Amino acid sequence: MRFNLLVALALLSTSLVGGIPPLMPYPQKVNLREGKFVLGEDFGIKIAGPYSPRVFLAKRRFLSRLAKRTGIFFSLEPQKTALILKYQKTIKLKPKMDESYRLEITPDGMTLEAKTDIGILRGIETLLQLLSSDSRSYFFPAVSIEDSPRFPWRGLLIDTVRHFMPVEVLKRNIDAMAAVKMNVLHLHLSDDQGFRLESKKFPLLHLLASDGNYYTQQQMRELIKYADLRGIRIVPEFDIPGHTTSWLVAYPELATLPGPYALERTYGTKDPVMDPTKKNVYKFLKKFFKEVTKLFPDQYIHIGGDEVNGVDWSQSERIKKFMEKHHMEDFSQLQAYFNQKVFKILKKLHKKPMGWDEILHETIPRDVIIQSWRGKEAVIKAVKQGFNVVVSAGYYIDLCHSAAYHYLNDPIPEGTELTEEEKSRILGGEATMWSELVDRDTVDSRIWPRTAAIAERLWSPSEVRNVRDMYLRLRVVSRQLEELGLTHIKNQGMLLRRIARYQDIKPLEIFLQAVEPIEGYERHDFKDYTVFSPLSRMVDASVPDPIPAVLFNFAVEDYLNGDENAGKFVVDRLNLWWKNHQALEKIAGNSPVLKEVLPLSSILSRLSYLSLQVIEKGNQDENVLKEAEKLIQETDQPCGELKLAIIESFKKILFARRGTE
């Protein structure tokens, strides 16, 4: 698909070229027909299938969302059946459940058909995305869609520990997950910084190790029901034997060393670890898991198992003697011993375990799911040994990589030498939202809209991978997700008003359209972040992969290939950024926290001006290029933990005719 800026801008309110609105995830088969179904006040829905609370409530939510998008006052007693929801059975949520559906829209009516009530939920989301309009009416284009997911496990991990995420945060993200057909919410509930679930058997866990921020069991039951009604499973994670400082604060007798222990306020891999040689550890875990498995209906319990550094084990004489007695050569064997004990506990409770890469060991049962975060080789190793795998490598959304980076990261990379049976063991993937650098105000902006691109990678055919097309659709889907209560767009304004001391925030918004947070874990190199650190600076208000910058980068590419319309857009944006620095500098005079980004704003302004000089003169002045080279070198050092999201486009404009970058 050739990028066309006018089409991109028009996407906010109209259909894509060819008459199909921006669907995400894109369905397996789409056939556009002649005509359209026009919406009216008499729009009625008929349910044709066994009673399902999911479908009944989905029907109500659908009508409410449709009314809000159109302003139509739908009749309380419609005389016309315009949409038929037809399905055969209701099912319990589980991996590999049938989520397929078929949607037929004609000028006379619409039929959404599925084998299960879950399929109806997935189809309703596609139908909502199909809503279109012209100057006369709102309508659905005549179309035939057959759809089913490529992978059965399409998840999102939310870390509730480093920064606590209230129930309302989780609910709005569940709604967003449902909108893009994701089906697993993985809740990280314990770590060194806290324990986030009420335990009636061991109340000190939430009383002493949560700072007062935890979910009551009643809240969790309500959340599980809320998710179930939207076709989403909740898988809890209780990280053991490492990342367990919070457990040991409450119950130090579980620890390898005597302690005392206090909740960690900093981040990284910590030394405290449970003692695998103590019988009371397993008695404790048996009672604990008996309690939580009654609370969580899903068949899987995540035990973590990651980043056990062995420091405390190496200091214990008891551990050393135990390992010698059992002929254990290293700590991986000791952890495997611990895991086997835990797996037996879970098996008796009729639950299946899953854990991170580090639990992989030749001695563990093959019904354990490995969640792989350490790359392609780790995935291949696990599936070749007969394990099912959920891939998270390449989907760490907290690292602020681009949507394109995640989108092109396939759970089954092209050219991977796996048999069809081995490929079938790759169940799908999970986006992972670790919360060291987000709180309730900013977490949505780190999850969305990029996770919608991951959702498409996990649902749609592997050949659906056009990055430009993805970004055009993502721009629209981002706005649609806001309807569900997500704050990924609106909270930026709130943060900027706070930063600007309630002055005009437009210059800040213009600046943020061209910058993004630095990637990976680099932010920790610039500040000593703790659980109490403020997350209210410009870097926190910024978003990874800002779509205005993406559109600018595409436009530069097309301008250099001779597209005049793209060139006009490029010039307009450069003028905006060139003139913005002075206004931003003025606001910073009343807001000291803004001063850390002024050097980057100045560079943005100057590079914009120099780029305009090259474009307008049509040639390259060596003095201009020398200054540009110097400025570009300065951007190698992040400023306020931000970097220019358009730096490569500056290089292309400035040095294209020289033939170097």
Whether 19 contacts 32, CB under 8 Å: yes
Q: Residue 254 carries which DSSP code?
A: G
**pLDDT band at residue 139 using 50, 70 and 90 as cut-offs:** very high
Pick the CATH number of 153-461 from 3.40.50.970, 3.60.10.10, 3.20.20.80, 1.20.1090.10: 3.20.20.80
**What mean pLDDT comes out for the span 346-365?**
96
Q: Residue 595 carries which DSSP code?
A: G
Mean pLDDT, all residues of the chain: 95
**pLDDT band at residue 53 using 50, 70 and 90 as cut-offs:** very high
The closest of 192, 184, 185 to 161, measured between CA atoms, is 192
Whether 604 contacts 638, CB under 8 Å: no
pLDDT at 659 over 80: no
Share of the chain above pLDDT 90, in %: 92
DSSP per-residue codes, 369-412: EEEE-S-HHHHHHHHHTT-EEEE-TT-BGGG---HHHHHT--SS
Distance of CA 623 to the CA centre of its chain: 45
Whether 282 contacts 345, CB under 8 Å: yes
pLDDT at 12 over 60: no
pLDDT per position as a tens digit, 554-588: 999 999 999 999 999 999 999 999 999 999 999 99
CA distance 21 to 480: 12
For residue 507, whether the previous peptide bond is cis, meaning omega lies within 30 degrees of 0, is no
- Residue 310: the pLDDT is 96
For residue 22, whether the previous peptide bond is cis, meaning omega lies within 30 degrees of 0, is no
Give the residue numbers marked as catalytic.
307
**18-27, 473-482, 622-631: least confidently modelled range:** 18-27
- Number of Cβ within 10 Å of residue 239's Cβ equals 24
- Residue 661: the pLDDT is 40
- Residue 9: the pLDDT is 55
The closest of 605, 544, 598 to 577, measured between CA atoms, is 605
562 burial (CB, 10 Å; 0-12 / 13-18 / 19+) is exposed
Q: Which residues pair with 145 in a beta bridge?
A: 30, 103
Whether 182 contacts 455, CB under 8 Å: yes
What are the residue boundaries of the structural domains of the chain, listed by start?
A: 29-147, 153-461, 490-655
pLDDT per position as a tens digit, 171-208: 999 999 999 999 999 999 999 999 999 999 999 999 99
**What mean pLDDT comes out for the span 266-287?**
98
> Encoding tokens for residue 306?
């990651």
CATH class of domain segment(s) 29-147: alpha beta
pLDDT per position as a tens digit, 393-430: 999 999 999 999 999 999 998 888 899 999 999 999 99
- Residue 566: the pLDDT is 95
Whether 442 contacts 496, CB under 8 Å: no
pLDDT at 470 over 50: yes
Which residues have CB under 8 Å from 289's CB, separation 6+? Answer: 301, 342, 345, 346, 349, 351
CA distance 241 to 261: 15
- Residue 3: the pLDDT is 47
Share of the chain above pLDDT 70, in %: 96
